[in-house]
Amino acid sequence: MAEKRLRSLGERLSKDPETHEKYKAGIQDLLDKGYAEIVPEDKAHAGMEFYLSHFNVKSQAKPSKFKIVFHASKMFGSTPLNKKVLQGPNLTKL
């Protein structure tokens, strides 16, 4: 019988303590590096914020690899957020 699909990241993490710890460490790393910030309580619902959903992915080839992915293809109004992201230089050498 197929396992019921968990609907939220919180539910998935509550079922897997090891992944939960890695996820917390990954988020803390983003905070420490200044890539993310904690929204102060008094600003949390001011109407000017947008929360980008995120989830984790694991490599099938390397199960120890773990990364947090942000879902910027989500629509905001009629525009996907990826269309508003500034593109940096192409660092791939062909």
CB atoms inside a 10 Å sphere around CB 34 = 7
Q: Is the pLDDT of residue 1 over 50?
A: no
More confident residue, 58 or 16: 16
For residue 9, give both structure tokens: 């990241």
Residue 92's pLDDT band, with cuts at 50, 70 and 90, is: confident
pLDDT digits (tens, 9 = 90+) for 43-90: 777 666 667 788 888 877 877 778 888 887 777 778 787 777 777 777
DSSP 8-class letter at 41: G
| pTM, rounded to two decimals | 0.66
Contacts of 85 (CB under 8 A, 6+ apart): 72
pLDDT digits (tens, 9 = 90+) for 24-36: 999 999 999 998 8
